[in-house]
Amino acid sequence: MKNIVLIGYMGAGKSTVGIQLSDRFQIAFEDTDQVIEKRQNMEISEIFEKYGEESFRTMETELLAQMAERKGRRVIALGGGTPMRFENRERIKSLGTVIYLRAKPGTIMERLSGDTSRPLLRGGGARQKIEEMLKERGPVYESLSDLIVDTDGKAFENIVDEIGGFYEAACNKRTEP
């Protein structure tokens, strides 16, 4: 049985959905941003300020490599930019069942309103930044995913049910003779 790997843009709901999935399947939840923050003893925005984005991306790549070595299964929420490094992509696929939580720019704006923790969306023009990044990132997220879940206007509970059903079916398929 493999991990459940959640990918998608900032504000897509990866952490909320991830925690609920971990409850449902009674497996641990891990959020790569949180692991990196704990290791560095700094918030993501401070890491960006102090070391720059590239260093943060390298921390993500190193963490992915470590996750690939581990046994057991978990729900893993990846940072929105992790799939954008080419070298991370095979590793993401090999980690488990990859679920893309897709959200439209309007939904993302709503979910992130008042949030100041995302350095890439600081400094104004958030809507345009989101639209431009989604154009680049959307096809990559899609290409890596085993399941795409459109999250706009959906309750998290329903999203969790959809993913849970898909994951159970995927696990049963694997164990069939």
By CB under 6 A, is residue 30 in contact with ligand S3P?
no
By CB under 6 A, is residue 164 in contact with ligand S3P?
no
C-alpha distance across the termini of the chain, in Å: 15
Q: What's the closest the beta carbon of residue 60 comes to ligand S3P, in angstroms?
A: 7
Q: What's the closest the beta carbon of residue 77 comes to ligand S3P, in angstroms?
A: 6
Hey, which residues between 111 and 150 contact ligand S3P (CB under 6 A)?
A: 118-120
C-alpha to C-alpha distances, 62 to 1, 4, 9, 58, 176, nearest whole angstrom: 23, 19, 20, 6, 34
**How many chain residues are in contact with ligand S3P, going by CB under 6 A?**
10
Nearer to ligand S3P by Cβ, of 117 and 169: the residue is 117
Which pair of tokens denotes residue 98? Answer: 């990859």
> Can you tell me which of 1, 35, 81, 140 binds ligand S3P, judged by CB under 6 A?
81
C-alpha to C-alpha distances, 176 to 2, 7, 24, 161, 169, nearest whole angstrom: 15, 27, 23, 23, 11
Report how far residue 33's alpha carbon sits from residue 80's, in angstroms, rounded to the nearest whole number.
Answer: 10
> Can you tell me which of 13, 18, 80, 83 binds ligand S3P, judged by CB under 6 A?
80
SS3 labels along 15-48: HHHHHHHHHHHCCEEEEHHHHHHHHHCCCHHHHH
Between helices 53-69 and 44-51, what is the axis angle to 10°?
120
Report how far residue 22's alpha carbon sits from residue 25's, in angstroms, rounded to the nearest whole number.
Answer: 5
Nearer to ligand S3P by Cβ, of 30 and 33: the residue is 33
Q: What's the closest the beta carbon of residue 42 comes to ligand S3P, in angstroms?
A: 13
By CB under 6 A, is residue 63 in contact with ligand S3P?
no
Nearer to ligand S3P by Cβ, of 79 and 96: the residue is 79
By CB under 6 A, is residue 105 in contact with ligand S3P?
no
Site residues for ligand S3P per CB under 6 A: 10, 14, 33, 44, 79-81, 118-120
